[in-house]
Structure 1
């Protein structure tokens, strides 16, 4: 870990880390809340992705669907990030060396890049192509990439506890 070792040691030796690691209830509570939050994140993102792919919700405008779901997505994402950090604090050294943990963060970064591409490039002229029953090839590719990435994020996350 090199340069990160003092930070990892500091986090791992903190009273918060000790409390989470030693509690019979804190880590399972954080993990359960994390799973519920990720379910909301995935469900709301999947709904938009399926609309981009023109597979579901085709009677709805993409902008309308997105604006209704996005607040839930962000609140759940923030909650998932917070509970994820609290689980990480319990044993930071173990997590940083865990290949599925590293893979999950790589996939999260790729999902963020896909989201940025969608926001800044694909969504241009959405008022034209985003009408009910319409989509573009770029929007379909972005939706497919998002569904694949978020599915893999969930798989990597579950794999963390088993490696």
Structure 2
């Protein structure tokens, strides 16, 4: 299925043109995107380090997670909005960029990891909430989360430095 006409239409939209040509809009949106990613990764890292028993061990896991959750979701919402705005002006070339594709797959995997943690591991949080070292399943979820988010950031940065001509996997 060929989506290229859809992505070209997005690229030619009034919103894409505004982001791309109106004063300092693009660099401002890009800066907000970086701030949002730093907020998301920073708050998730604190929670994940608590899951690994490496930080905030004097506080219950539920307190650490609850204190940071609103910041994480706020940062994530801002990252989505700014990410879409950054995508639009170059939609036709970004959607076929392998680094973009890998980043999107990693975002889905990070979401699945979080979903499994919430659905399975966090159900027994009452048992291990105040222990310094949570169960192996919680530590694995934290380690996977850190790995996913670090690679999401790396592949996100690579998007802007890889053109389709440089991309050996552009045919995917």
State the 1:26 CA deviation. Answer: 1.2
- For the 8 Å contact 1:122–1:138, the answer to whether it is kept is yes
Aligned to 1:156: 155
Q: CA RMSD in A?
A: 1.1
- For the 8 Å contact 1:60–1:132, the answer to whether it is kept is no
For the residues of structure 2 that align with 1:24 and 1:94, how far apart are their CA atoms?
Answer: 23
Aligned to 1:145: 144
Aligned to 1:44: 43
**Which portions of structure 1, spanning 4 or more consecutive aligned residues, are displaced by more than 4 angstroms?**
none
State the 1:50 CA deviation. Answer: 0.2
Aligned to 1:14: 13
Structure 1 unaligned blocks of 5 or more: none
For the residues of structure 2 that align with 1:134 and 1:156, how far apart are their CA atoms?
Answer: 31
State the 1:22 CA deviation. Answer: 2.2
Q: Deviations over 1:1-55 (max 9, x none)?
A: 61x2232122111111112222351111111100000000000000000000001
SS of residue paired to 1:125: helix
Q: Does 1:121 align with 2:146?
A: no
TM normalised by structure 2 equals 0.90
State the 1:132 CA deviation. Answer: 4.1
TM normalised by structure 1 equals 0.95
For the residues of structure 1 that align with 2:8 and 2:92, how far apart are their CA atoms?
Answer: 8
* Deviation larger for 18-27 or 85-94: 18-27
For the residues of structure 2 that align with 1:103 and 1:73, how far apart are their CA atoms?
Answer: 22
